[in-house]
Amino acid sequence: MTKEEKEIQEVKNRILANSNISEEKKVLLLNEISQGKTFGFNSGYPSIDRPWLSFFKLDSYYKIDNNSTVYQDILKQNQNDLKNLAIMYFGGNISYKKMFEQIDKTAKSLEEYGIKKGDFVTVCCAGIPECIYTVYALAKIGAIANMMPPYFDKDQMSARISDCESDTLIVMDSFYPQIKESVNKSTVKKVIVIPTLNSSPLRYIPKKNKIKLNYVNELWWNQFIKDGNKRIVPETFSYEKDYPFCMVYSSGTTGASKAIVLSHDSFQYSVLSYDANTIDINRGQKMYQVVPPWYSTGLSTSVHLPLHYGVTIFQDPRFERDVFVKNIIKKKLDYSIGSTSLYEGFLDKRLTEGKKLSHMYTPVQGGEALNNDLKDKIEGVLKDMGVDTKIIVAYGQCECGAQVTSQSNKINHPADSVGIPIPGVTVKIVDDDFNELPYGGRGNIVVNTPCGMIGYYNRPDENEKYFHYDEFGTRWNCTGDIGSMGENGDLFVDGRAEDFSISEGKKIYNFDIERVLQGESDIKMCDCVSMVRDEISDGFVLHIIFDEESEKLYEENIEKLYDRLIEIQKRIFDEYNDIIMVPTEFKIRKEFPFKPFGKRDTEAMKRETDGLIHIDKNYLIEENKKIIKRI
C-alpha cells in the first residue's frame, strides 16, 4: 500500500468514526474519495478535510519516506560538496570534509573505549563542534546519545544517567564542575572533557580557572581522539526502522524528568518534510544554532536540518540576548531559531540602532508565546533594519520530534496562528472523550506524526497516559496543550492544559487572562501566574512589564499606576463579566526570570511574595467602593 493509499484509508476511517457527521454526508464524502479526491473535503472537521495539503507540493509530499540513519543521510547529501563550510565556531571554519573526518575519528575512539551498537553515551554539551561530531559518530556505530541538560538537580541527573546504564560521559569543561557530584553517583566510569574553545583559534588564549583532571577515569577530548588513532574507521551501522538515535528530556519541573527516545526516523521525517514544504532552505546559507542540543529543536531543527541541506551552522553556546542579536547582525546569518526572549533583544536600540540586516532570510520563533503586539514591534525594528520578512512562528514539543506546525512567509496566516501542520503530520482538536471538534472548537491538541518519539524510556505508565490509540489503531500524541484550528488548517495554541489557577474554587486558565491584554499599547509583556503559598495554590498574580515610557511615568506617579491597574481590571471584567477572573494582585517587573538556557521560570514566579500590589475589585460589583492598598 502506498503512502497516499494509507492516508486515504485513514481519512475514510475518520469519516466512518465521526458520530457527528450524518450518514448521508458520510456517503457523499466517501464517494468523493472513490472519485480520486484526497483532500479539501467539506466535512467540517480538520483531520478529515486536511486543508493544509493545498499548500504543499503534493508530488514531493507523497514521496516522503526514509531508509537512512541520520549519519548516512548527511553523508549522502553532502558527499559532492565536501569543500563547503559546515560549521563556524569562534573564528574556526570547519568544512564538510573536515567534519566527516572528525566524526570518523570520534567513532574510532568510541570503539576504542568499548562503545558498541545499543550502548548509551551521555553527552552534556552546548552548541559546540565536538557535540556534532559525537552524536553523528554514535549514530555511525549504532550507539545512542543520551543528551543531558547541565541544570538538572543532582539526584535527577544521576538517576537518568543510571537508568540507561550509561558508563561514558562526554562533557564540556564549563559544565563538568557543576555536575561532577551527580556523575560520581551514577553508572559513569569514563569521563571525556571537552575544552569549550577546542575547535576555535581562541583555544590558545590562556584560560583563567582551568579545571584539572585528577582521576584515572577522566581525560581530555584530544587525548580521547588520539587514543583511537590506530584503529580503522568503524563500519557504518545500517538503517533499521524505529531504531533509537538519541534521548532528550522533559523539564522535570512538575515531577521526575522523563527520557524521550527519538529515532533516526524522527529526525529524518522532520527534515524530509521540507522537500514538500513552503519554506526554502538553500545550500551555502548560514543558520544560527542557539537552541541547546539537549532540546530536540536544538538537535533536529538547528543541527540535522541545516546539515541535511548543506547549510552552514553558526555556533555560539552563549544563550544571551545581546550575544544573539550581535551575532545575527555581525555574522550576516540567514536563519535563526530562538525563543521570544532572545528576539526581544531587537527592541534594544543600543544593539540595533543604525545597523543593517538585509541578509536575514528566515527568523523562526518557538518555545514561548509571542503575542501579536510584541511580534509587530520586533518586526517593525527588523523592517527598519532592512529585513523583508516576518518572524516565522512554529509549534512543537520534544515528544513530537520538535516540530508539529510552522508558519511560512508564502502563506497569509491569521493573527495568533502557529502555522499549519508540517507535511506528514495530522493535527486535530478533541474533547476529553477524544471526540474530534469542528473548526473553531477549543479543546485538547492531539498529533499523529512520523517525527514523534518512540516513547518515554522505561516508563510504560507514562507512555500509556501520553499516547492514545483510536479504534483503528492510529497512534495520537496527547500534547497537553489547549487550542483550536481554523478552516485553512492554521493551529491556534491557547496554552498548556495545566496552566490554570484556582480562584475562589473555580478553575481559570491563566492564558485567558493574558489574552485580554494582548495589544495594549503600554504593555510590553504580561504573565498570569498562580500564587503558591505554603505549597498550596490559591488565586493568581498578574505580572506586567510596561514599555519604557510608561514604566518611567508610573515610577514617578504611583497614583497613575494604580489608575492603570484599575483600568486593566475593568478590561478583564468587561471581557468575561466574571468577577472571579479579575486579578487583585499585580507585580510590575522590568524583566522575567528565566531558567538556565531558556524558558521563563514561572515556578519561581509562583512563589514570589515581594513587591506585590493589591487592588481590591469589589468596586466592580458594588458602587462607590474602591479600596487601593499596596503591600
Structural domains present in the chain: 70-400 (3.40.50.12780), 495-630 (3.30.300.30)
How far is it, in rounded angstroms, from Cα 191 to Cα 168? 6
Output the pLDDT for position 330.
94
Separation CA 601–CA 622 (nearest Å): 37
One-letter amino acid of 115: I
Q: At residue 256, does pLDDT exceed 80?
A: no
Chain centre to alpha carbon of residue 514: 21
Q: For position 624, what pLDDT does the model report?
A: 41
Would you place residue 537 in the very low, low, confident or very high pLDDT band (cuts 50, 70, 90)?
A: low
Q: Is pLDDT of 196 > 90? A: yes
Task: Name 492's bridge partners.
Answer: 484
Distance between CA atoms of residues 500 and 512, nearest Å: 9
Q: What is the pLDDT of residue 613?
A: 95
Cβ atoms within 10 A of the Cβ of 309, count? 20
Interval 389-402: pLDDT, tens: 889 999 999 999 98
Read off the pLDDT of each residue in 509-524 and give the average, rounded to a whole number.
Answer: 90
Q: What one-letter code names the amino acid at 182?
A: S
Residues 40-44: contacts with CB within 8 Å, 24+ apart? 41/11, 43/15, 43/18, 44/438, 44/439
Residue of 516, 511, 569, 508 lying closest to 539 (CA atoms): 508
DSSP 3-state assignment of 574? helix
- Per-residue model confidence as pLDDT tens digits over 70-84: 999 999 999 999 999
pTM to 2 decimal places: 0.89
- The confidence score (pLDDT) of residue 99 equals 98
Residues 593 and 288 sit within 8 Å (Cβ to Cβ)? no
State the Cα–Cα distance between residues 525 and 368, nearest whole angstrom: 12
- Could you read off the pLDDT of 271-283 as tens digits, one per residue? 999 999 988 889 9
Residue of higher predicted confidence among 539 and 69: 69
Report residue 86: phi and psi, to 5°: -95, -45
Are 391 and 378 in contact by the 8 Å Cβ rule? The answer is yes
CA distance 426 to 420: 10
pLDDT tens digit sequence for 127-145: 999 999 999 999 999 999 9
pLDDT band (50, 70, 90) for residue 596 = low
Q: Is the pLDDT of residue 459 over 90?
A: yes
| 614 confidence band (pLDDT: 50, 70, 90) | very high
- Give the residue among 254, 175, 238, 188 at the shortest CA–CA distance from 215: 188
Q: What is the pLDDT of residue 546?
A: 94
Q: Which of 551, 541, 621, 623 is nearest to 586 (CA)?
A: 541
Helix (H, G, I), strand (E, B) or coil at 479: strand
- The string of pLDDT tens digits covering residues 268-311 is 999 999 999 988 889 999 999 999 999 999 999 999 999 999 99
pLDDT averaged over every residue in the chain = 92
SS (H, E, C) 218-262: EEEHHHHHHHCCCCCCCCCCCCCCCCEEEEEECCCCCCCCCEEEE
Percent of the chain scoring above 70 in pLDDT: 95
Given CA atoms 448, 451, 452, 458 in this order, what sign does their dihedral have? positive
Question: From the CB of residue 25, how many other CB atoms can be counted at a distance below 10 Å?
Answer: 16
Looking at 402-474, which runs of residues are DSSP E strands?
405-406, 420-421, 426-430, 443-448, 455-456, 467-469
pLDDT at 620: 87
